[in-house]
Amino acid sequence: MIMADHTQHRNPYQDLFRLDGRKAVVVGAGSGIGRESALALAAHGAEVVAADRDLAAAQQTAGLGDGLSAYELDVLDQAAIQQAADDLGAVDVLVFTAATNVRKRLLDYSSEEFDRVVSLNLRASFDLVRAFSPGMAERGRGSVIGFTSIRAVAVEPGQGVYAATKAGLLQLMRTAAAELGPQGVRFNVVAPGVVETPLTSQIRNNPEWYDAYASKSALGRWARPEELAGAVVYLASDAASFVTGSQLLVDGGWTAIDGRYTPPN
């Protein structure tokens, strides 16, 4: 009897998350979620450009692993974004994490504060999509990954403008998914809960706020930046080849139990 030889056949699932031969640009890679995303993509074989307004921070990220390089990019400069798209050539994966927040109630907001939050959180994302996705469409493939927030679906007083930008980004990316899906380009967002990053340092440094936010999730704690990296690798890879127009919640169960009350014994 002749035995079948399976040694020559590689299991197709073995490389499902591999990104060998692909080029990724991570905007906001100088710290926090962006840095961890860049490192994770590189660990799975991608050539990664760590882009950040702070070049020194981007260079520090690039020095933490193989396959990484640094690029200075201010996403509030539309011309600089287009120049980056021209400079970096064929890009298979685009990730953008840069965001800001002004924690004030709506009636206390100034026009300048409104413009500052909208410009970075929404307008810059719009500019990045418009600069990088045409090349992806021409090549017939690509994955664009943005970051929204639990605030895209669940708000609290003092988070209104930030929440509006995150909900707007979700709809922007869904529209891009619809418009460029026929050309093979996928658009998705990751929605974190509370994460220990520079953006949240104001409330993390207050023990009362820190504990209150931790208790809101099913896991009873804040996320670490590296816990978002798996979602980015997934959405960038062939494991998510049929995933587009989606919001992937990585919130420790926050939205599943939002508003819960644990009565005393």
**What amino acid positions are annotated as catalytic residues?**
162
User: Which phi-psi region, left, alpha or beta, contains residue 231 (left: φ > 0; alpha: ψ -120 to 50)?
Assistant: alpha
Residue 142 φ/ψ, nearest 5 degrees: 165, 155
Residue 52 CA, chain-centre distance (Å), reads 14
Cβ–Cβ < 8 Å for 231, 39: no
Other C-beta atoms closer than 10 Å to the C-beta of 10 total: 9
Q: What tokens appear for 39 in the block?
A: 């490192």
DSSP states of 7-49: TTS--GGGGTT--TT-EEEEETTTSHHHHHHHHHHHHTT-EEE
Helix (H, G, I), strand (E, B) or coil at 78: helix
Q: How far apart are the first and last CA of the chain?
A: 69
Q: What tokens appear for 128 in the block?
A: 């990045």
Q: Which residue has the tokens 């919130």?
A: 251
DSSP states of 209-261: HHHHHHHTSTTSSPBPGGGGHHHHHHHHSGGGTT--S-EEEESTTTTTSTT--
Residue 111 CA, chain-centre distance (Å), reads 27
